[in-house]
Structure 1
Amino acid sequence: MSRMPRRVKYRKSQRRRIRGNATRGNKVVLGEFGLQSTQAGYIKAATIEAGRIAAQQYVRGIGRLFIRMFPQKSVTSRPLETRMGKGKGEVDYWAAVVKPGTVLYELSGVTEEQARICLARVAHKMPVRCRFVRKRPDLVTTAESK
């Protein structure tokens, strides 16, 4: 089932240029291993679902998959062979805006070798370049060290 928001304030959104690196959602939090984007782009809701199915088929109940992106941007299109004018087209699909550094999927409960194979299958379906990342141990803060 394709993901989309329950309700939005405005049905049609404008395209914006995707600038900068991800400052939020750029660390592995929920799982032990993650798939991180190295490029900016839009990922369709159907593509997110295809990645989820590819991972679930490989994991088969031994691990847990977390999806860290949500398609909240509407992308519109006009019918083919339509003349100019007559306004903006209808919503064609929903997409997630992804910046470089965004963690797309996370896995837990599997070995590193299994996670690499599983996330490589998912990365093959993504329209942006991705890399495998591991959860980093929390850095000791200055308050805890005193």
Structure 2
Amino acid sequence: MISLIKSAAGGLTGVCRVYGHQQVLSQCCLKTLPAGLKTFQVPPDYSDVFLPSKPKLKFLNKVPNLKKAKKEMKKLRDIQGPAKASNTFINGQYAIVALGGGYLRWGHLEMIRLTINRKMDSKTTFARWRINAPYKPITRKGLGQRMGGGKGAIDHYVTPVRCGRLIIEMGGMVELGEVEHILSEVAKKLPFPAKVMSKESHAEMLKMQAEKEQNNQNPWTFKRIAQGNMMGIRKVLSPFDLHNHGRYSGKFHFPERV
């Protein structure tokens, strides 16, 4: 049997009671338990957060307030390309960002409003719309009608959304983990791909895209090939492709293209 005693040098030695041999124990075999206070993360500072008097999403009209409704053409260009408006944060810290183009019906907007207003805590959280109420008319003919006869009657209204546009914005005295499950539930029900992002992650995504363009080592980019009309490619390209350098195809976005 070996007992531990403290030596004059300050170390620990093991003494065998049977034979009287002394052996110095290695320091790696000893486990010291440090005594001290636990370190916790500093809680976030919400001193600059302002909660509005009406924190919940407001009701959006199903039909625009017009004296006379006018029919329009399809104009698919309103869902093509990047968003030029409502593509940055204003008040909130978290948002649902569209990763493709599409149309939002009034049913989608009502689903967003009811889901968020019911599940969020209005005492610490607020939400704001970043899109307009439905204003684009969609026409449709009744069943059993023959071809021709002019354009059909207005059936419903939609809101066009482009890639990169913020759908709603949420903020307040909350962290991303507290509202991410609410926003994710809404994002997966939209008719186009969408993602939940914070203000920091959105800025980091834009920064990575800019760095990818700046540090690209491949000289044969879509922009150079299209502008130089190599192999006569301008015959099959549209002005839309020349303007966006092949990063968008209709309502779809290709983030891997530089």
TM band (smaller chain): 0.7 to 0.9
- The residue number in structure 2 matching 1:141 is none
**Post-superposition offset of 1:119:** 0.6
SS in 2 for 1:7: coil
Kept after mapping to 2: 8 A contact 1:66/1:106: yes
**Post-superposition offset of 1:69:** 1.0
**1:30 is matched with which residue: 91, 99, 108?**
91
- The residue number in structure 1 matching 2:149 is 86
- The one-letter amino acid of 1:77's match is R
* Inter-partner Cα distance in structure 1 for 2:60 and 2:84: 27
* Inter-partner Cα distance in structure 1 for 2:165 and 2:68: 25
> 1:56-71 maps to which residues of 2 (within 5 A)?
56-62=117-123, 63-70=125-132, 71=134
**2:75 is matched with which residue: 9, 12, 16?**
16
Q: Which has the larger radius of gyration?
A: 2
The answer on 1:131 being equivalent to 2:190 is no
Kept after mapping to 2: 8 A contact 1:119/1:132: yes
SS in 2 for 1:15: coil
Kept after mapping to 1: 8 A contact 2:94/2:169: yes
**Post-superposition offset of 1:5:** 2.1
Query: Once the two structures are superposed, what CA deviation does each residue of 1:109-140 show, in whole Å capped at 9, x if it has no partner?
Result: 2321122111111112211110112225x9xx
- TM-score for the superposition, normalised by structure 2: 0.49
| Number of corresponding residues | 138
**Post-superposition offset of 1:60:** 4.1
**1:46 is matched with which residue: 66, 87, 107?**
107
- Structure 1 runs (4+) deviating above 6 angstroms are none
SS in 1 for 2:188: helix
**Post-superposition offset of 1:89:** 1.4
**Post-superposition offset of 1:14:** 1.1
**Post-superposition offset of 1:34:** 0.4
- TM-score for the superposition, normalised by structure 1: 0.84
Aligned alpha-carbon RMSD (Å): 2.1
**Post-superposition offset of 1:108:** 1.3
**Post-superposition offset of 1:42:** 0.7
- Point out the more displaced range, 1-10 or 87-96: 1-10
